Amino acid sequence: MVIVMIKKRTVILDTNVLLHDPESPRRFGSDQVIIPIQVIEEVDRFKKDPGEKGRNARRVSRLLDSFRAKGNLADGVQINKGEESTLKVAFCRKETTDRLPPELKGDSGDNKILAVALEEQNKKMLDNENEVVLISKDTNLRIKADAVGLKAESYTNDLVDIKDLYRGFRTIYVNDEVINKLNDTGSLMLDSNSRLLKAKLRANEGVVLSGEAQKSHTYLGRYNAETNSLRELQWLKRAKLGKIKSKNLEQSFALDLLLDPNIQLVTLVGKAGTGKTLLALAVGLHLVADENMYDKLLVTRPPISLGKELGYLPGSLEEKLAPWMKPIIDNLNYLTGSGIDKQGERSKKHVRNNNTHSWEDLKGMGLIEVEAINYIRGRSIAHQYILIDEAQNLTPLEVKTIVTRAGEGTKLVFTGDPNQIDNPYVDSDSNGLTWLAEKLKGQNIVGHITLSKGERSPLAELAANML
């Protein structure tokens, strides 16, 4: 018998890792975790920050204090039960900083963290012990580490490669008789079809069944994990959304998830022009105003601008939010027909005569509300349809905070494009939207669709694909 020895590592954590995930010291299994004293100093400077960084800094301080109660942090303390993982706080010696290249001998925090990592590496090399790895979300620091002979990695615990993101549907080729049976009955138990069983479908995953003899012979269904059956898109079939129709397969699956009252959370990911926000808003308006399924349509989005900030916005909270909500208002005006008509003239028909309502009318009737995402913490929101637009600009912690606000009878819809991120602290692989979609895929009350086909206009589709 061959015994494989798993070599442990010594990981040096940068400040940005701790501020991104305060529980990160526990994420490294049996590895030895070292936090440079410079990192502790930097965390301390963030403790009074009113935002997420401040909250995370305070959590880090409390976590390290709980470790301190177990022993001396300078010597190392055990942090995970049942594992030989330890955490130690290390100081930077002047002798080590003096050996850094001249360009890195400044008094910057990054250079001191590098020095601690280099000193640990020298110790391990002498004793032929663990590999030393610097963990940082700072690209430049990883480059510096590589330049001085240190192994460096990004923090990947919550990363989701956008290329591997769960699509929410797939195509399966079956015998044409299976499709005929589904067209007749509307459902099919997976036990009766070995090919569908082998596919190992996830709960609420969309399925495009294509005939083997006739490729054009197709059937759209959704997998029900509780009954282990494939069912037709029944909610899409029943819906009456006026001018809003599904223009492709992806939108059909998305609409069915949005309309299903049993699905309490839906994530829609896609490039500009795929219809994410429009579909979510149309369904929300329908379920609130027509079906009375929810008390209110609550709309929110992160107040992060494209490019340079305009500065202080005067007025009440509602007036301050108005510029951020303009994309929502544009979509709503399109849905209600209260915007510009085909001839380019402002519609003057009375809303009551058209059975449509403008943004202001809907607000006045209490059917729609704009919420500042900054003040959602601590709330319990029941019996509402909540649309979180531009969710790619949220961090995983912010997304978790929003989801945990959902009360009884509330439906959450997150929409966004991971390739259009304006938040400097997240990217396409670490944003809260894709993190949420991957974390909750396959849950019975959760649905997800990745949309790829643009439907806004030929120009918008061209720009999204080629620019």
Does 200 or 238 have the greater pLDDT score? 200
Q: Name which of 44-58, 102-116, 355-369 the model is least confident about.
A: 355-369
In a domain, 235, yes or no: no
Question: Which pLDDT score is estimated for 351?
Answer: 38
Q: How many CB atoms lie within 10 A of CB 410?
A: 20
pLDDT digits (tens, 9 = 90+) for 279-316: 999 999 899 988 999 999 998 888 765 444 545 556 65
In a domain, 233, yes or no: no
In a domain, 61, yes or no: yes
Domain boundary among 136, 153, 170: 153
In a domain, 306, yes or no: yes
Residues 260, 408: one domain?
Answer: yes
Residues 296, 403: one domain?
Answer: yes
Domain boundary among 98, 132, 153: 153
pLDDT digits (tens, 9 = 90+) for 227-265: 999 999 988 888 777 778 888 999 999 999 999 999 999
CATH number of domain containing 405: 3.40.50.300
Question: Which pLDDT score is estimated for 427?
Answer: 83
Q: How many domains does the chain have?
A: 2
In a domain, 305, yes or no: yes
Percentage of the residues of the chain whose pLDDT score is greater than 70:
86
pLDDT digits (tens, 9 = 90+) for 414-454: 999 998 888 877 888 889 999 999 999 999 999 999 998 87
Q: How many CB atoms lie within 10 A of CB 347?
A: 17
Question: Of 180, 200, 204, nearest to 190 (Cα)?
Answer: 200
Domain boundary among 127, 153, 179: 153
For 456, counting Cβ atoms within 10 Å of its Cβ (0-12 exposed, 13-18 middle, 19+ buried), the class is: middle
Question: Of 413, 396, 403, 412, nearest to 379 (Cα)?
Answer: 403
In a domain, 208, yes or no: no
Q: What average pLDDT does the chain have?
A: 83
In a domain, 446, yes or no: yes
Residues 326, 460: one domain?
Answer: yes
pLDDT digits (tens, 9 = 90+) for 159-176: 777 778 899 999 999 888
Residues 147, 274: one domain?
Answer: no
Mapped onto helix, strand or coil, the DSSP state of residue 303 is coil
Domain that holds residue 92: 9-153
CATH number of domain containing 72: 3.40.50.1010
Q: How many CB atoms lie within 10 A of CB 67?
A: 21
